[in-house]
Amino acid sequence: MQQTTNTILMVRPVNFRMNEQTAVNNYYQEEVDMLPSTVNARAQQEFDAFVEKLRSISVEVIVVEDIKETDTPDSIFPNNWVSFHENGDVGLYPMFAENRRIERREDILEAIEKKGFVINNIVDYTSAEEDEIFLEGTGSLTLDRVNRKAYCALSARADEDLLIEFCEDFEYSPVIFVAYQTVDGQRKPIYHTNVMMCLGETFAVICLSSIDDKKERKNVISHLKEDGKEIIDITEAQVNNFAGNMLQIKGSDDTRYLIMSQAAYNCLTEKQVKILNKHSKILSSSLDTIETCGGGSARCMMAEIFLPKEK
């Protein structure tokens, strides 16, 4: 089993804007005083520049265009509806926002198969939407693929029972907690685990202070230490700048890169950068519009492909 891959799926936006349906529990989204067409054009520029940077370090990026006719403002974040696994399994996930459910497209899976990847089995959890039960892919699940642990911050978008079902199907052990952020003086659950936690091969970037329950926090720390991960603890202010929303991937010559936004990089301390550089090269790209309106960042934009290739 591998923790990092060289291949990712990205969806180029055509109707990107602040999604009013997700803003109810994604407190990172903000209204901007810009025409929708301007917002989308800026998001496309950021997206294209990001893809170019990834390709410049030899990451295989499969880019699929979003469909103009569908109202899918968050299609730029495909990692929430699909996950790809080394045994050829694909997970399809139930989404909280109705207009995000349309993002699930069979033709995207076909495009991946056309690139020579093998899909053996689709594990479909989407019927849970009928019962208003959600688990939003690798937004909700931060997977340690080597040690078979699924870290999950429970929220309106991450249901505990469905997490357990995922763990049984994909042979992971759940590590469960609730992560909070302060919104207007109140502690509210962070909507996705991958906003406050990133797991690399030899390290973990995590906002420990967001886990208010001391027992839960201790449990998370002990799992990370048990697996030899160096912990880089980030603050809530850094989480607000998407410092938790990073992804380690393989670039040229199997070099490990930690991918993040420019805002995430800018908010890190010198000490944190130094520690991260021990584990990985850092690649950052400006995603300001996407972060402000979408409330997601670099990691959310990349769905990792671990599928086997045709022989």
pLDDT of residue 69: 78
Is 106 inside a domain boundary?
yes
Name beta bridge partners: 204: 199, 231
pLDDT bin (cut points 50, 70, 90) of residue 78 is very high
- pLDDT at residue 266 above 50? yes
Q: Which range marks the domain in which residue 50 is found?
A: 7-304
Query: Starting at the edge strand that comes first in sequence, how are the strands of the sheet with 7-12 ordered?
Result: 60-65, 7-12, 303-304
- Out of 98-107, 163-172, 240-249, 258-267, pick the least confident: 98-107
Query: Would you place residue 297 in the very low, low, confident or very high pLDDT band (cuts 50, 70, 90)?
Result: very high
Q: What is the mean pLDDT of residues 261-279?
A: 98
Report yes or no on 2 lying in a domain. no
CB 245 within 8 A of CB 195: yes
- Evaluate whether 23 touches 32 at the Cβ level (below 8 Å): no
Contacts of 277 (CB under 8 A, 6+ apart): none
Q: Is residue 21 a part of any domain in this protein?
A: yes
Residue 183 is part of a domain; what is its CATH number?
Answer: 3.75.10.10
Look up the pTM and report it. 0.93
pLDDT of residue 35: 66
Evaluate whether residue 261 is within a structural domain.
yes
- In sign, the C-alpha dihedral spanning 257, 112, 103, 17 is positive
Q: Is residue 125 part of a domain?
A: yes
Tokens 């950021």 map to which residue? 46
Asked if the structure places residue 310 within a domain, the reply is no
**How many separate domains does the chain show?**
1
In a domain, 1, yes or no: no
Query: What pLDDT does residue 34 have?
Result: 62
Calculate Rg over the CA atoms of the chain: 18
Does a structural domain hold residue 309?
Answer: no
